[in-house]
Amino acid sequence: MDAALNPLLADWSAPHALPAFDAVRPEHFRPAFEAAMREHRAELAAIVADPRRNFESVIVAFDRSGERLARIEALFYNLTASATTAALQAVQREMAAPLAAHWNAVRQDASLFRCIDDIWQRRRGLELDAEQQRLVERMHQDFVRAGARLEGEQRERYAAVVQRLAELTTAFGQNVLHDESDYMLELRDDAAAAGLPRFVRDAAAQAAADRDLSGRMVITLSRSLVLSFLTFSHHRDLREQVWRAWVGRGERPGEHDNRPIAREILALRREQAALLGHACYADHALADTMALTRERVWALLDEVWQRAVPAWERERELLLEAMRAAGVDHVLQPWDWRYWAEQVRQSRYALDESELKPYFALDAMVRALFDCAQRLFGLHFTHRPDLHAYHPDVHAYEVSGQDGAVIGLFLHDNFSRPGKRSGAWMSALRWQHRNAAGGGRSQPIILNNNNFAKAPPGEPTLLSLDDVRTLFHEFGHGLHGLLSDVGYNRLSGTKVLRDFVELPSQLFEHWAQEREVLQRHARHHATGEPLPQHLIERIEAARRFGQGYETVRYTASAIVDMAVHERCEPVDDIVAFEAEVLARRGAPPAAGLNHRLVHFQHLFSGSGYAAGYYVYLWAEVLDADAYEAFVEAGDPFDAPTAARLLQHIYSRGDSVEPGATYRAFRGREATLEPMLRDRGLIN
């Protein structure tokens, strides 16, 4: 293909240098990737050939290199996650190995590493500022962790392992998506929908319409639909069916079975860790975190686990009581939990999700996000309907700072649809830094993806409290990307240590629960009435109910993750291994866990969260402690506290060691108590 005709290789000339979404076709990617990889290799050769061998010619130049490849990759991964097609998936399978090989070759480039290593050795004498020192250290560590110090056969084997892992993790994610898209339960008549509130029926009708089954109702494995169905459906047998399909993702024998894939991933990770001199994969993963050691992770998980199980047992008592009162005498199974929890919630706290939902219209909650960002950080979000992304449901907003200058672009993609993976996440098409070609500022383009069930045309999409928290969570990540104010790409936005990365997102969830925010933004979509005071009080009273269940499910998943990644021996049967670990811990079967290994995408769709699922809890210790600073100040929008938060957390990226920057914000280390209290695990 003529490069001039490939929109991926042309200059991106749309406003904000957005990609030409309309013109990009799946067949453009392969030639574009190949050209961009060639260009990147040439840039790296120029770095090695540059006789200066100084910070500028090596470190700064490397940080700036590969810009074209990075932006094509960013676009590609955004499309494969949010708007994939069979053709894009084919490109994804085809390109996984060559791309991994390219990046591996970069990290294994011995002459390039010699240049970086040379600067690293001499870094203290180079008159670099603190951020530049940090850049040299992070960059050097990236290479060492990727095997740059290996030689000969070991080097080759390492490259082969990494390449194979890339193929396997891609297949793992596609298998989960396959099982999710493959399943649906049709509710054949009104009786089959018994118990489902209006918003669940609407979502089920919309899911049917998306599958060309207009006029019918289906339950798919979209997370919000599954959880709603399990919460409300009166049909225990149907709940069990949906629950089994949900927890069985990735475990069906045949070509989409994730068991052999996970087994091979684990074996390769053990080998990878051994090549780098670590006893197990967990040690390798944790060497690049705030926690640093398994002992510190286990200390946190053990502490929380021993408090979580009794909290769960107290909740179970309430559920059993409700079952007895209703004359139900069957065993409380995992597919019953949410249903009876909802009964308890309604009777004990009179909190009825369908009574609450009308106050939480998506549009109003998006306004709440922007309002909080304005009050805390002085940001303004301007909707730009003229800017088009990859799907009509994606809204583009121009973001400007206190002085009115535009600082970036925010793309909000809120609805679930076929071809979009489940879950919620933040990503970037471009990162903030001041190291663009010519020394210019690179403006961030940040995306938030959610998977809310879209209301029928003309009706507002209404969110559950859980959805609202997710919306705020991802927006916290988004702010971490948008507010980034660093010199170098490598240190930008959310490219921080992974047990720090959930601090800005989880911290932002706290504002979703603030009275002041609820009073202002949670208004009835039809009447405009504010959320009544008695409902606010009940939300607050009910907040801790269910925390035992959630904490057990989360911690159980984190425990399985650590256990499977600290093993030195092969894991022949991941299903049996998981069951064994849970049994040894006395994990209650009726609680289940957030993710079973067979579809645990955090662990196996990439390596980002392998031996790292604990990071949410680690960061929660930080976010609960950080929010206390506003509580102590007596104002959720206290200006001096917000200014410190911006300066030391949201704008810092990875330019400062996270422990140090946290202490700079808080004036001390974080303590465990606020997290335990928030979860109702201590009084």
- CB-nearer residue toward Zn ion: 507 or 598: 507
Count of chain residues binding Zn ion (CB under 5 A): 2
Among the residues of 513-546, which ranges form H helices? 515-521, 533-542
Number of H helices, E strands in the chain: 27, 7
Segment lying near Zn ion (by CB under 5 A), choices 116-124, 479-487, 498-506, 624-632: 498-506
Q: Give least dist CB 269 to Zn ion, A.
A: 23
Rounded Cα–Cα distance for residues 609 and 600 (Å): 10
Helix (H) or strand (E) holding 398: strand 395-400
Q: How far is the CB of 475 from Zn ion (least distance, A)?
A: 10
Place of tokens 């960013």: 74
**Residue matched to tokens 């006395």:** 586
Cα(247)–Cα(240) distance, integer angstroms: 10
Residue number, 502 or 628, with CB nearest to Zn ion:
502
Distance between CA atoms of residues 391 and 35, nearest Å: 27
**Least separation, in Å, of the C-beta of 522 and Zn ion?**
23
What does the DSSP assignment read for 560-586?
Answer: HHHHHHS-SS--S-HHHHHHHHHHHTT
**In the complex, which residue's CB is closest to Zn ion?**
505
Q: Among 222, 246, 202, which Cα is nearest to 416's?
A: 222
Nearer to Zn ion, 256 or 510 (CB): 510
Contacting residue, 169, 432, 505, 651, with Zn ion by CB under 5 A: 505
315 vs 502, beta carbon nearer Zn ion: 502
CB nearer to Zn ion: pick between 478 and 548: 478
Q: Which is nearer to Zn ion, 231 or 505 (CB)?
A: 505
Quick one: three-class SS letters along 622-677? HHHHHHHHHHHHCCCCCHHHHHHHHHHHHCCCCCCCHHHHHHHHHCCCCCCHHHHH
Min CB(423)–Zn ion separation in Å: 10
* Placement of tokens 């009073």 in the chain: 519
Minimum distance from residue 497 beta carbon to Zn ion (Å): 14
Choices 204-212, 245-253, 499-507, 654-662 (CB under 5 A): range interacting with Zn ion: 499-507
Q: How far is the CB of 422 from Zn ion (least distance, A)?
A: 15
Q: Give the SS3 label for residue 412.
A: strand
Q: Are 465 and 360 in contact (CB under 8 A)?
A: yes
Nearer to Zn ion, 357 or 498 (CB): 498
Q: Which stretch binds Zn ion (CB under 5 A): 8-16, 392-400, 501-509, 605-613?
A: 501-509
Shortest Cβ 500–Zn ion spacing (Å): 12
* Apex 676 CA angle, 648 and 312, nearest 5: 140
Distance (Å, rounded) from C-alpha 450 to C-alpha 465? 14
Nearer residue to Zn ion within complex by CB, 258 or 505: 505
Q: Which is nearer to Zn ion, 73 or 502 (CB)?
A: 502
Q: Phi/psi of residue 640, each to 5°?
A: -65, -40
What pairs with residue 340 in β-bridges? none
Binding part of the chain for Zn ion, among 6-14, 175-183, 502-510, 549-557 by CB under 5 A, reads 502-510
Q: Give me the catalytic one of 474, 502, 566, 620.
A: 474
Segments in 18-60 forming alpha helices (H):
26-49
For 636, phi and psi rounded to 5 degrees?
A: -65, -15
Considering the complex, state which of residue 224 and residue 505 has its C-beta at the smaller distance from Zn ion. 505
580 is catalytic: no
Choices 131-139, 231-239, 415-423, 505-513 (CB under 5 A): range interacting with Zn ion: 505-513
547 vs 557: CA distance, rounded Å: 15
Q: How far is the CB of 492 from Zn ion (least distance, A)?
A: 17
Minimum separation from the CB atom of position 450 to Zn ion (A): 12
Least distance to Zn ion, CB of residue 212, Å: 34
Q: What is the 3-state secondary structure (H, E, C) of 443-479?
A: CCEEEEEEEECCCCCCCCCECCHHHHHHHHHHHHHHH
- Work out the burial of residue 241: count CB atoms within 10 Å of its CB; fewer than 13 is exposed, 13-18 middle, 19 or more buried: middle
Q: Determine the distance from the C-alpha atom of residue 192 to the mean position of all C-alpha atoms in its chain, rounded to a whole number.
A: 34
What is each CA distance from 291 to 99, 122, 380, 498, 501, in whole angstroms?
31, 28, 36, 10, 13
Q: Which residues bind Zn ion (CB under 5 A)?
A: 502, 505
- The residues carrying an active-site annotation are 474
